[in-house]
Structure 1
Amino acid sequence: MAENTTFSYHSTVLFVEDVERSKEFYTQVMGEEIDLDLGRNIIFRSGVGIWEGGFARGVIFGDAGSESENNNFSSKRMLELYYETDDMDRSVEAIEAVGVEWVHRVVEQPWCQRTIRFLDPDGHMIEIGERMDVCARRLAGTGKTPEEIAAATTLPLEVVRQMLRG
């Protein structure tokens, strides 16, 4: 790569089977706001985008109708979108209400953060984790000291102290 070449992250794009279904899911369930709607390509303010898979195949590989092994394209590739919440219980209720396919309901990760994972309408995995400041306050509510919280979460002690102050 040339020394003066600069790359900057822009967005994550999901190739989906039904743009309207996915647009509804991401706006109504995940709270995304549309920044730009181009019909077959939607960009949300968060930087996540969705692109109609058949159209994408045509643009990328010149064949809108197949997912042959030659073009190595599938809209079902492993990908996870990560979101955070300050209210895990309310988030679980909202996700349960729309009837998603669960990867897992609330689990506590090894670093003490509570998370859920489920699939969007096209099978892409979505994780929602409690914000780490919420996690730290939850642990403090159980009587853990800042030092114990730092050890359990692997967060630096000063970061834990800041989270507990604010």
Structure 2
Amino acid sequence: MRLKNVLIVVKDIEKSCKFYHDLFGLDVVVNNDGNMILTEGLVLQDETIWKKFLGKDVIPENNSCELYFEEHNIEAFAEKLEKFYPETRYVNKLLTHEWGQKAIRFYDPDGNLIEVRTPM
């Protein structure tokens, strides 16, 4: 058995697709009316579909998991994030940990937590 995909719930699938393409270069592999599979195995699912399956509300910014990315030129990434998405809600803006690794944490437009770090 292997992990195939990671699914996140979004309110506006087209807006989220643009967000993940603009910042991370992820492209659409499959588009199935309310479910969109992007490169790297990220799946976007429309919130109404998710709520129907679960029968529960989605809780944005619940901080129970995060999408983790690595980027060598994190300063350029932080500038791109600020330029394209100035309304971004941050957990922490770009910082350098005591061991030298740089990191930034923020929420996507739907409150899904994202972390970007320089490789170790």
1:113 and 2:101 matched: yes
Which residue in 2 is equivalent to 1:90? 76
- Where 2:67 maps in the other structure, the secondary structure is strand
Query: Which 4+ stretches in 1 moved above 4 angstroms?
Result: none
Q: Distance in 2 between matches of 1:21 and 1:117?
A: 20
Q: Distance in 2 between matches of 1:109 and 1:17?
A: 33
Contact map agreement 1:17 1:122 (CA 8 A) in 2: yes
Q: Which has the larger radius of gyration?
A: 1
Q: Which structure has greater helix proportion?
A: 1
How many residue pairs match? The answer is 116
In structure 2, stretches of 5+ residues that fail to align are: none
Deviation track 1:53-100 (CA, whole Å, cap 9, x = no partner) reads: 111221343xxxx62xxxxxx242432101111101111110111211
Cα pair distance change 1:111/1:11, threshold 3 Å: farther
Q: Distance in 2 between matches of 1:8 and 1:110?
A: 35
Deviation track 1:112-166 (CA, whole Å, cap 9, x = no partner) reads: 210001110001111110122xxxxxxxxxxxxxxxxxxxxxxxxxxxxxxxxxx
Cα pair distance change 1:54/1:37, threshold 3 Å: same
Asked which structure has the greater RCO (Cα within 8 Å, sep 6+), the reply is: 2
Q: 2:38 is aligned with what amino acid?
A: F
- Where 1:95 maps in the other structure, the secondary structure is helix
RMSD (Å) for aligned C-alpha atoms:
1.6
1:33 and 2:35 matched: no
1:59 and 2:47 matched: no
In structure 1, stretches of 5+ residues that fail to align are: 1-6, 68-73, 133-166
Q: Distance in 2 between matches of 1:111 and 1:37?
A: 41
Which residue in 1 is equivalent to 2:113? 125
- Where 2:40 maps in the other structure, the secondary structure is coil
1:8 and 2:11 matched: no
Cα pair distance change 1:75/1:34, threshold 3 Å: farther
Structure 1 length as normaliser, TM-score? 0.64
Contact map agreement 1:53 1:75 (CA 8 A) in 2: no
Q: Distance in 2 between matches of 1:14 and 1:120?
A: 10
